[in-house]
């Protein structure tokens, strides 16, 4: 009886510890999933799947997996793999729905601005949309490399470790991703250069 009580107490402590750690990582993982999947609902679901997978992995190994030297990197790898699985899934692509660009423009125009400078807010939304469109034109691997490098600010070695690729392969994916992003967004930074003159 005492052993069972000790076991239940230990489980409760582990759950509380895992919950605190999850809360500290949840926003970062959600944003990573959001950038990779480009759908807030799918990102929310992928974030939940990520932490469920992490919890199950910890439960199987009694809280000490071999690659848990850096828990942030470990959960990032789980999140990236979860997103890549969802992107590969044919069923997910069938159910993915996004408004047409014309509808998005109407929605943005109808949205009430919270900030006093509505023009600046609209401009930032338009840039965000353009970034999302440009990201969607990358392959899933390029999107993962680009997101980890530029949004998560991870060194190339960490990106390679998370994706289980060679650093040279990561560099090639990053180069191609940046080239595609520049091509897709060149009118934005050409307009900015013209304003600076």
Question: Domain spans of the chain?
Answer: 1-97
Mean per-residue pLDDT over the chain, rounded: 80
Other CB atoms within 10 Å distance of the CB of residue 168: 10
Maximum alpha-carbon separation in the chain: 79
Confidence check: pLDDT of 156 > 80:
yes
Class of residue 32 by CB neighbours under 10 A (exposed 0-12, middle 13-18, buried 19+)? buried
| Integer Cα distance of 53 and 48 in angstroms | 9
pLDDT over threshold 80, residue 4: no
The pLDDT score that the predictor gives to residue 97 is: 60
CATH number of 1-97: 1.10.1740.10
Burial zone of 160 (CB within 10 Å; 0-12 exposed, 13-18 middle, 19+ buried):
buried
Percent of the chain with pLDDT strictly greater than 90: 37
pTM value is 0.57
Q: What is the pLDDT of residue 144?
A: 93
What is the tens place of the pLDDT at every residue in 30-40? 999 999 988 89
pLDDT band of residue 125 (cuts 50, 70, 90) is confident
Mean pLDDT of 115-130: 77
| pLDDT tens by residue, 19-70 | 888 888 999 999 999 999 888 999 999 999 999 998 888 877 655 555 567 8
Rounded mean pLDDT, 68-94? 81
Using the predicted structure, report yes or no on whether residue 160 has a pLDDT greater than 90: yes
């Amino acid at each position: 009886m005492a052993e069972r009580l000790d076991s239940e107490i230990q489980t409760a402590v582990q759950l509380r510890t895992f919950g605190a750690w999850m809360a500290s990582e949840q926003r970062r993982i959600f944003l990573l999933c959001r950038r990779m999947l480009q759908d807030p609902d799918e990102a929310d679901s992928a974030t939940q799947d990520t932490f469920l997978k992490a919890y199950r992995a910890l439960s199987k190994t009694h809280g000490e997996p071999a690659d848990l030297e850096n828990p942030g990197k470990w959960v990032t790898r789980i999140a990236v793999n979860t997103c890549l699985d969802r992107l590969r899934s044919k069923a997910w692509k069938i159910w993915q729905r996004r408004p047409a660009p014309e509808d998005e423009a109407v929605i943005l125009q109808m949205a009430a601005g919270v900030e006093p400078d509505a023009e600046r807010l609209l401009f930032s939304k338009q840039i965000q949309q353009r970034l999302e469109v440009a990201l969607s034109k990358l392959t899933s691997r390029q999107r993962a490399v680009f997101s980890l490098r530029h949004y998560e600010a991870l060194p190339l070695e960490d990106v390679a470790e998370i994706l289980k690729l060679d650093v040279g392969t990561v560099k090639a994916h990053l180069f191609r991703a940046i080239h595609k992003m520049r091509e897709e967004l060149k009118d934005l930074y050409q307009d900015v250069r013209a304003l600076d003159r």
